[in-house]
Structure 1
Amino acid sequence: MQILSIVLPFALMFGIMYFLLILPEKKRNKKYNEMISSLEKNDEVVTRGGIMGKIIIVEDNYIILETSAERTKLKVTKNGIATKVNKETE
């Protein structure tokens, strides 16, 4: 019975930590990976550095963004993309 009284609190703490920290992080990673794999030409994205641009070329590990009216092109790894900007059509 002493072993149970020692192990049970640790098991409960692990269970709470799993549901509060590990599970939400797995969901965020899955959603991010789906977003990265669904990137296509003409999608607007924001990089982790805060640069906004439109995708003009998509390759396996990187993309090329067009970032301004002067058509500045940047080569960025796919992991450098933070979010995809959703344009709502009305």
Structure 2
Amino acid sequence: MNSTVGLILYMGFFFGLMYFLIIRPQKKKTKQLNDLRGSVKAGDQVVTIGGLVGNVINVKEDDFTIEVGAARTKLTFKKWAISTIEKSSSAAVEVETIEIEE
């Protein structure tokens, strides 16, 4: 009886440890990534999971269109393909304007 209770407490301790070290941080990271993908808007510069960098020109419910390269090629991707949002074009314009005024 005593060894059974000890085994159950031992297993419970390791489950709790696994939860706080692995499961909880992964859920937090997934939530942040979903919030990031939901906040993409036209004018943002994004990097896809394939490494393509482009400016967002159109956002639909589950898709977005980016413009890449000197030829301004338009590509359509699913929102889950966004890896990071680098910067907003409007923010870049504001920074450039501030630097010019100084």
Partners of 1:36 and 1:6 lie apart in 2 by 43
TM-score (norm 2): 0.83
Return the offset for 1:72: 0.4
Deviates more, 1:78-87 or 1:35-44: 78-87
Return the offset for 1:86: 3.0
1:68 match? 69
In structure 1, give the amino acid aligned to 2:72.
R
Partners of 2:70 and 2:87 lie apart in 1 by 20
Identity, in percent, stands at 36
Partners of 2:79 and 2:19 lie apart in 1 by 29
Report matched runs for 1:4-83 at 5 Å. 4-83=5-84
**Structure 2 gap segments, 5+ residues each:** none
Partners of 1:68 and 1:59 lie apart in 2 by 22
Return the offset for 1:6: 1.0
Q: Which has the higher helix share?
A: 2
In structure 1, give the amino acid aligned to 2:66.
L
TM-score (norm 1): 0.93
Which of the two has higher C-alpha Rg?
2
**Structure 1 gap segments, 5+ residues each:** none
Equivalent residue pairs, number? 90
